[in-house]
Structure 1
Amino acid sequence: MLKKISTLFIAAAILLGAGTASHAVEFKAKGVWNMNFEYGSGGNFTERGRSENGNKAAGVTGWGRYGEDQFEAKSRVRLQLDAVASEALSGTVYFEIGGVTWGRASKGGALGADGNNVVKIKHSYLDWAVPQTSVKVRMGIQRVFLPDFTTEASQAFDADVAGVVLSTPITDNLSLSGFWVRPYNDNWAGDSQSPQNYLDNFDIFGLTAPVRLNGVNVTPWAMLGMFGSNSFRSGTDFYGKNSTGAGALGLSPAVYALKDSKVGRQIADAYSTVLWAGITGEMVAFDPFRIAASFNYGSVDTGAEALNRKGWYSALLAEYKLDWGTPGVYGWYSSGDDDNIKNGSERMPNVEANNESTNAMSSFGTLGTWTLGRDTLIGSTFAGTWGVGARIKDVSFFDKLKQTFHVNVLGGTNSPAMAKYIKGAKGVDGYTSYTPDTGDGFADFNSANYYGLYLTSQDYAAEFGITTTYQIYDNLRLLVETNYIALWLDQSRGVWGGYTSATGNNMGANSTTDAWNVNVSFIYKF
């Protein structure tokens, strides 16, 4: 570990020295150090938010989304080097070291600090301008995301991915940005039915058109993708737990209750079509009063109805900026699954949403923080939920100290009938519902809602959060997050109530308890 870090800094020093000698290229260095200390409890969660009748996985003593303990200490370093030849040409490489969990050998945090697989290239791209034009091009591994003026975090696409982005102004009020990215290709090892690398690419094309008028900003956007029948496969399972990305990408059905033998191991079409469209905007003409709204729609067509997905999401925000803070109210609604498991999912698909942005409406229930703190208790996005909330942002009565308070009341928009498939009380046309690989007899909540809980229209939750930042020095910031989520899940037999499987295992209720966490981060940025 220390050798790798030393190598990075030696390389940086050589590059900086070379830039000084040549006078042709200027090298700039940026970086972020993040030290995080966190304590959390409740939720009874195991892998990626799955709840197993209130039981924790073996060896897990705490919140446990990734086998975490109640108390965790972590650190991460990000180092960015820019080689700038001119305003029209530059190159960037962005290294990431960690996150390192202190004491864990596999994460480089044990005695000796020489663990492997903790240093990676986060970004590596080339920026250049097409000569004699206003077109700018970025090529390589980079962050690509869609806009959202309400949540400040896209519910459809926000990821580090390899691709090409082009942008150009059209008029003083209109600009265009288009991209092609390739999340997956040449990862399928092959088997007796499909040769290696056959039909395993996933490509996405997108276009945004920001419009800036006097007091109004609006950005319509559209995105089209296609993925092959082997794009997400890492074994014999296409949409199950062993897939390389279908669950994480939110492209699979919300509940994988159909066995492979029922729908066929591969999708009906060689390539599936994925389509998204949306519009987001804000009105600031009456500053300090601001209104923002967003609407997204997405669909996945695989050729097999049971594996299709389509849905939508909308959000509205109103806030008023005062000298001491910015109070606001907001709400969101996203479509949920109906009671027919054979017609696929009615939840909006997404591609690695909220990757690097912070969800301004939820700091614990969804991916709401870019620090190393725990989150995603409800889900990575708002898909399949509704909610209303209020917040006071950037409250400041003392120099260098700011606080944000928020409270949300939310629930699910999925049919309660889906709970029977998830907990194994109901199958499809004689086929039993999906059983996890562990053989523990419990329903696989991970496959139902990757990164969180599957909430029906009879399930509710309340989220409370306080975020405090104190600027210790110009480059050193202290961030303290305190979060609590209260859960009220329907324990009746028709939803999450008790059910005894054929093997005698008591499926029981989804007896998830309330959850809370406190995390403290020291962030040094230069």
Structure 2
Amino acid sequence: MKQTRISVLAVFLVLAMATAALAATEVRMVGDALVYGSFFSNRNFTGWNAPAWTSATPTWSKAGKKTEEAFEIWERFRLRTDFVANEAVKFRLEMKVEDTWGHGTFTAANPEVAIMIYGAYLQFKLPCTDVDVTAGLQNVALPQSKMFYGSPVFGDRMAALVVKAPLIDKTLSVMAGYGRLIDTNRTYDTTTTQVADELDAYFLALPITLDGFKATPWGAVAVAGKDANLFTLKSSQQNSSFYADNLTSAGTYATPKLWKNDQNAFWWAGGAFEVSALDPVKFYADVIYGAGAESDRKKSHRSGWFMDAGVEYTGWDVLTPKAYGWWSTGEDGSTANGSERMPMIRPNWGPGNSFLFDDSQELVKNSNMGMSPVGSWGLGVTLDDVSFVQKLTHRLTFLFVNGTNSARAIRTLNTLMGSNPYFQMGRDLTINEHVYGVNFDNKYMIYENLSAVVETGWAHGEFQQSVWGHSLVNQSRNGDTWKVSFGLSYKF
């Protein structure tokens, strides 16, 4: 009840702010609403829960102890309000309510209202310039060619200061920023001894646009404290991974455990490329190298490559065919020499709206398998924007994914820790494992701002019993993964 009162007061406060601001500023509101049902059978290829970290010690819960609820009904409402002083200054506030029917906010007769602020930032131009400054909780996406939706390193929201400025008109610009993702203890640490409890990020990009060609070289540095909530904060929209999974190595969990250093630096250098000179044939590619914890124990080092490339043909009105692939380095046979997978922070990568990866699904929650984009290679084809009937569009995607991780490395850690969150069956594949995935997505525009959406998916995986054990692998052989989601999307 206390939470309900606080949330309602917050809404009234926002409305009061908007009313008071009308006299001095222009207030603009846009938003969207989603209501949809989702049937998901054999998530994690088993229908059982995945392992998860439960404390920073670290402790964890094992896989296969819970059975999934196959059908849920989700509802999400988002409201974005701009308080515009003039063309150069504005503040944006973004709020949302999101839960399943019958739980929390949507519990009959006794709801617990839960309003989340998912964006709040000040944006302005430096006087007499075209330099944009944005400060606050905002969307920060590291550069990635548009065929692959988002970055495998970071593609989400963070509290950050971002500066964008043109250097050469319509040819060269710069984007630079700093963000703080985690500050565990905030103002005071828990004892008189100061601890490293932050995760900070610094990034720089130089978009270059020429006739028929665009290239964006970029770099990023993150500094992770060993007392930050790396084990208890999830770094995936679908809760499939934690920050610790994305930054540490398998050897980090062997004696002596965890990092030696109070802080470890991670860095990435990459480039995103788009070629449209042969339009309607267009090419896309990305190359990224990342490394971290290089001054820590050798077993805690982590570094690796990630590359993707694709081509599409946009000359047809009825469909857009696409073909693409990717490759990344995987674990070698030893955990004593660190990890050979590229470190990540919060990935949001995926081609063709594939439900294997956490990427562009419109019916967002309970929508995908959360597979890792690193430690694998794959090929895929998509028939996008298929339309033979007015207002009705379709997308058909087929993906083949194979692991690049040594079975020995994963088996070694599983022998040491048992079922653990660092390596998960279906999320992390060995060189002897593969997954097929197909999704067929459809949208019908009922009105200009109201659509009916159907997303479907099927996946089949082959896994090594000697790596994951009899129980999980045998369960995965009992049936394939199926997903069917249907809902309504309203935008205003």
If the length of structure 2 is used for normalisation, what is the TM-score? 0.87
| Structure-to-structure mapping, 1:181-196, within 5 angstroms | 181-187=179-185, 195=192
| Structure 2 residue aligned with 1:502 | none
Question: Alpha carbons of 1:516 and 1:373: their partners in 2 closer, same or farther (altered >3 Å)?
Answer: farther
Q: Deviations over 1:462-503 (max 9, x none)?
A: 110111011111111211101000111234x4x4465xxxxx
Question: Alpha carbons of 1:246 and 1:7: their partners in 2 closer, same or farther (altered >3 Å)?
Answer: same
| Structure 2 residue aligned with 1:288 | 280
Q: Distance in 2 between matches of 1:110 and 1:471?
A: 30
On the 8 A contact 1:366/1:375 being kept in 2, the answer is no
| Structure-to-structure mapping, 1:473-488, within 5 angstroms | 473-488=447-462
Q: Secondary structure at the match of 1:133?
A: coil
On the 8 A contact 1:36/1:373 being kept in 2, the answer is no
Q: Distance in 1 between matches of 2:4 and 2:257?
A: 49
Question: Alpha carbons of 1:45 and 1:263: their partners in 2 closer, same or farther (altered >3 Å)?
Answer: farther
Q: Which amino acid aligns with 1:101?
A: T
Q: Which amino acid aligns with 1:167?
A: K
Q: Secondary structure at the match of 2:247?
A: coil
| Structure 2 residue aligned with 1:525 | 491
On the 8 A contact 2:74/2:365 being kept in 1, the answer is no
| Structure 2 residue aligned with 1:429 | none
CA displacement at 1:90 relative to structure 2: 0.3
Counterpart of 1:228 (choices 225, 229, 233) is 225
Question: Alpha carbons of 1:469 and 1:120: their partners in 2 closer, same or farther (altered >3 Å)?
Answer: same
Counterpart of 1:346 (choices 332, 340, 346) is 340
On the 8 A contact 1:257/1:422 being kept in 2, the answer is no
Q: Deviations over 1:24-45 (max 9, x none)?
A: 3100111111112011212214
| Structure-to-structure mapping, 1:194-209, within 5 angstroms | 195=192, 198-209=195-206
Q: Secondary structure at the match of 1:310?
A: strand
On the 8 A contact 2:208/2:214 being kept in 1, the answer is yes
CA displacement at 1:196 relative to structure 2: 6.2
Q: Distance in 2 between matches of 1:318 and 1:129?
A: 37
Question: Alpha carbons of 1:245 and 1:382: their partners in 2 closer, same or farther (altered >3 Å)?
Answer: closer
Counterpart of 2:322 (choices 309, 318, 328) is 328
Question: Alpha carbons of 1:13 and 1:423: their partners in 2 closer, same or farther (altered >3 Å)?
Answer: closer
On the 8 A contact 2:386/2:393 being kept in 1, the answer is yes
Q: Distance in 1 between matches of 2:441 and 2:6?
A: 34
CA displacement at 1:115 relative to structure 2: 1.8
Bigger Cα displacement from structure 2, 178-187 vs 415-424? 415-424
| Structure 1 residue aligned with 2:65 | 57
| Structure 1 residue aligned with 2:85 | 85
On the 8 A contact 1:44/1:55 being kept in 2, the answer is no
Q: Secondary structure at the match of 1:18?
A: helix
On the 8 A contact 1:49/1:453 being kept in 2, the answer is no
1:151 aligns with 2:148: yes
| Structure 1 residue aligned with 2:299 | 306
Q: Which amino acid aligns with 1:468?
A: N
Question: Alpha carbons of 1:458 and 1:312: their partners in 2 closer, same or farther (altered >3 Å)?
Answer: same
| Structure 1 residue aligned with 2:351 | 360
Q: Distance in 2 between matches of 1:163 and 1:30?
A: 23
Q: Secondary structure at the match of 2:428?
A: coil
Question: Alpha carbons of 1:276 and 1:323: their partners in 2 closer, same or farther (altered >3 Å)?
Answer: same
On the 8 A contact 1:156/1:349 being kept in 2, the answer is yes
Q: Which amino acid aligns with 1:465?
A: N
| Structure-to-structure mapping, 1:393-432, within 5 angstroms | 393-424=384-415
On the 8 A contact 1:136/1:168 being kept in 2, the answer is yes
Q: Distance in 2 between matches of 1:142 and 1:131?
A: 22
| Structure 1 residue aligned with 2:57 | none
Q: Deviations over 1:198-257 (max 9, x none)?
A: 21122111001111100101111100121223123679xxxxxxxx95336x1122x468
Q: Secondary structure at the match of 2:218?
A: strand
Q: Secondary structure at the match of 2:178?
A: strand
| Structure 2 residue aligned with 1:240 | none
Q: Which amino acid aligns with 1:273?
A: A
Q: Distance in 1 between matches of 2:468 and 2:407?
A: 9
| Structure 1 residue aligned with 2:445 | 471
Question: Alpha carbons of 1:417 and 1:136: their partners in 2 closer, same or farther (altered >3 Å)?
Answer: same
Q: Distance in 2 between matches of 1:489 and 1:507?
A: 9
| Structure 2 residue aligned with 1:241 | none
CA displacement at 1:134 relative to structure 2: 1.9
| Structure 2 residue aligned with 1:72 | 72
Q: Number of residue pairs matched? A: 465
1:389 aligns with 2:373: no
CA displacement at 1:350 relative to structure 2: 1.1
The alignment yields a C-alpha RMSD, in angstroms, of 2.7
Q: Distance in 1 between matches of 2:51 and 2:325?
A: 24
- The runs of 5 or more residues in structure 1 that have no matched partner are 236-243, 425-432, 436-442, 499-505
| Structure 2 residue aligned with 1:26 | 26
Question: Alpha carbons of 1:233 and 1:324: their partners in 2 closer, same or farther (altered >3 Å)?
Answer: closer
| Structure 2 residue aligned with 1:124 | 120
Q: Distance in 2 between matches of 1:2 and 1:229?
A: 35
Q: Which amino acid aligns with 1:421?
A: T
On the 8 A contact 1:320/1:328 being kept in 2, the answer is yes
Q: Distance in 2 between matches of 1:234 and 1:134?
A: 41
Q: Secondary structure at the match of 1:418?
A: helix
CA displacement at 1:344 relative to structure 2: 1.6
CA displacement at 1:258 relative to structure 2: 3.0
| Structure-to-structure mapping, 1:165-180, within 5 angstroms | 165-172=162-169, 173-180=171-178
1:258 aligns with 2:253: yes
Question: Alpha carbons of 1:407 and 1:263: their partners in 2 closer, same or farther (altered >3 Å)?
Answer: same
Q: Distance in 1 between matches of 2:472 and 2:320?
A: 46
